[in-house]
Chains A and B, each alone.
Chain A
Amino acid sequence: MAKRKDIAVIGYGETKVTLKGGRSSYDLAGKVLEQILNQTGIDKNKIDGLSIAETMSETSNPFWGVYMSEMLGLSPHWMQLNGLGGTSGIGGIARAAAAIRDGLCETVFVVASDAQSSGRNPEQGAQRGEFQYPTGLRGPVGAFGLITQRYRHQYGLDDRALAKLAVTQRNHALMNPNAVDKLQKPLTEADYLNSKYVSEPLRMLDSVMVCDGANGVLVTSTENAKKLGAKKMIHPVGYGEISNFKGAEPLADITISGFSVAGPKALKQAEMTPKDVRMIMPYDDFLIALIITLEDIGFCPKGKGCEFVMNTDLSYKGTLPLNTSGGQISAGQPGLAGGGLNLVEGVRQMFGEAGARQVSDPRNCMVTGIGVIPYGRNWGVSGVLVLEQS
């Protein structure tokens, strides 16, 4: 498929990430909507599409999306619920683009909102009751413990590279007023290395802290964006996604992710190679995921992710700025709205509105999403979005 710039992202919004903030997912989403309307000056009634992420806090309500419309006073002609975990935000943009191109709607509010740390966790069921819970695997932390151990065995793992990622992201979070207060303190390599094991070899500082928060973007056709008088716009030019990567192969290598499929697909559509990527906002539930993501998308050969991290300036001033708002690991993970945190930062950077942490020449940005912990394999969903200026 040839590269197109017929779809535009024209606004973004984000709440501060809070720990047990006590506000509902609806309330948080309302905050994001108001920000976007103020920022773009667009009338609420122009929004005729709603793409919404599934949550931990509200997903037990099977009508969550329609309730959200009611809460926000929207009457969408097209609605999409994305249960893709951290891929729901970028997946929402891709789906909105398809719906707009197909004439189902014109202007879509792509929102993710979750009050996970204030709310309840729904039971995921399936095989977990019989074949996971009795072992005591500590959920995502345990699953990433298994991935990390296997990675270490196959390729070696340089703890200094993980420490560098932790410190780089924390330094970015210290410049982000929306980051959760609890993590607003400097971090050193020694802090990371001395962090206690939760599911060895996985450390506490490898992991996200579950919080509350919401984020979203406004998506429309480039043509309509001009009609609406959009002040700023950027374009989704490449997208790749895969769920249940190698799901029918009982002996698939758990160190290889779906990014090995989704990354090249998104880049090809965007007519880019990894060298062309100006900055990257990769989904970071655990630091090892960043290493695997960089390798599988093709920034470096498999097994060389730590070397790549050690040899690359990933700060906002660097050659490949990474998670410049701190990532989820240092800004806090707003539940299943977590994937939108790095997405919104990508849009903010490309709009030139990142303040003290602004990346120079923000000509494009890659955003990734990871979702869902499967049984004994790599993660469940991998998505890659490439954004570019007009």
Chain B
Amino acid sequence: MSEPIKAPAKPEAKKIPRPLPRPNTYMNTQPFWDAAKNGKLVIQYCKDTGKPQFFPRPVSLANGKRNLEWREVSGKGTVYSYTNTFSAWPGHEDRVPYLVALVELAEGVRILCNLLNVKAEDVKIGMPVKLCWEKLSDDINYPAFEPA
């Protein structure tokens, strides 16, 4: 057998900033980010079946058609599950430990988000939470949740 080849040198692990969302890259999500800037959370609804969905899709998950619209939601929900993160995703090192949750909105979808203004030991599954916002940049308001 040949000698082991040398792996390509990995770039020096340098600290990257917290990742900012890149609106409108894979889907037309501009309405979501425009609403977020105004403190409103909007999600897609299938106009044919009335069913909500999140994250944004090119078609209705219910019937595969593109008859979709954005509607504002109440911002009320409950914690479906959560995890206390000690090993950070790149760019989040300064936030450790931080809470990531699946929040079930009253409208019937789940959203992956951070839980803010609460200690890990005080979080309970089923706990009522409400929408709050984190300003990540001049253009980006990011939805998060806190105890209701």
A interface with B by C-beta (< 8 Å): 20-24, 27, 31, 115, 118-120, 125-127, 129-139, 141-142, 145-150, 153, 196-202, 247-248, 250-251, 254, 375-376
CB within 8 Å for A376 and B61 given contacts A119-B7, A134-B19, A147-B81: no
Q: How far is the CA of A376 from the CA of B29 in the complex (A)?
A: 19
Q: Are B125 and A150 in contact (CB under 8 A)?
A: yes
* Structural contact, B104 and A129, CB atoms closer than 8 A: no
CA gap between A126 and B29 in the complex, in Å: 12
Q: B5–A250 contact, CB under 8 A?
A: no
A130 to B27, CA, bound (A): 10
Report which residue of A120, A131, A139 has the largest number of chain B beta carbons within 10 angstroms of its beta carbon: A131
Contacting pair A22 B82 (CB below 8 A): no
Partner of B26, one of A126, A145, A201: A126
Given contact pairs A130-B21, A247-B61, A250-B53, A136 touches B89 in the complex (Cβ within 8 A): yes
A/B pair count, beta carbons within 8 Å: 144
Assess the B20–A201 pair: CB atoms within 8 A.
Answer: no
CA distance A161 to B41 in the complex (A): 42
Chain A residues with Cβ under 8 A from B130's Cβ?
none
The answer to whether B81 touches A146 (Cβ under 8 A) is yes
User: How many Å from the CB of B114 to the closest CB on chain A?
Assistant: 5
Contacts A119-B7, A248-B61 known; A137 to B80 CB distance under 8 Å?
no
B62 close to A248 (CB less than 8 A):
yes
**A251→B142 CA distance, assembly (Å):** 22
Whole-angstrom distance between the Cβ of B17 and the nearest chain A Cβ? 11
Q: Is the CB of A134 within 8 A of B83?
A: no
Cα-based distance from A145 to B89 in the complex (angstroms): 14
Distance between B45 CB and nearest chain A CB, rounded to angstroms: 11
**Which residue of chain B lies nearest to A247 when distances are taken between CB atoms in the complex?**
B61
Secondary structure dominating the interface of B: loop
Q: In the complex, A196 Cα to B98 Cα: how many Å?
A: 16
Q: How far is the CB of B103 from chain A (nearest CB, A)?
A: 10
Contact between B112 and A375 (Cβ–Cβ < 8 Å)? yes
Closest Cβ–Cβ distance, residue A343 to chain B (whole Å): 24
Q: CB < 8 Å: which of B4, B27, B89 contacts A137?
A: B89
Inter-chain contact B5/A27, CB cutoff 8 Å: yes
Decide if B18 touches A134 in the complex (CB within 8 Å). yes
Given contacts A23-B4, A127-B56, 14 further A-B contacts (CB under 8 A): A24-B5, A119-B8, A132-B112, A133-B89, A134-B20, A135-B100, A136-B95, A138-B100, A142-B100, A149-B83, A150-B80, A200-B83, A250-B110, A376-B110
Q: Are B21 and A134 in contact (CB under 8 A)?
A: yes
A138 to B98 Cα, complex, angstroms: 11
> Which residue of the partner chain B has the closest CB to A27?
B5
Contacts of B62 in A (CB 8 A): 248
Q: Are A376's CB and B102's CB within 8 A? A: yes
Given A23-B4, A197-B86: A136 in contact with B81 (beta carbons within 8 A): no
Give the CA-CA distance A199 to B83 in the complex, in Å.
6
* Smallest beta-carbon distance B56→chain A, Å: 8
Choice from A27, A125, A148, A199 contacting B86 with Cβ under 8 Å: A199
Q: Name the residue on B nearest A125 (C-beta).
A: B26
Q: Which partner residue on chain A sits nearest B32 by CB separation?
A: A130
The verdict on A129 contacting B21 (CB below 8 Å), with A135-B112, A137-B100 known, is: yes
Closest Cβ of chain A to B124, distance in Å, is: 9
Decide if B4 touches A375 in the complex (CB within 8 Å): no
- Look across to chain B and name the residue whose beta carbon is closest to the beta carbon of A248: B61
Tell me which residues across on chain A come within 8 A of B23, comparing CB atoms.
Answer: 130
B14 at the interface (CB under 8 A from A): no
Interface centre among A197, A199, A375 (most CB of B within 10 A): A199
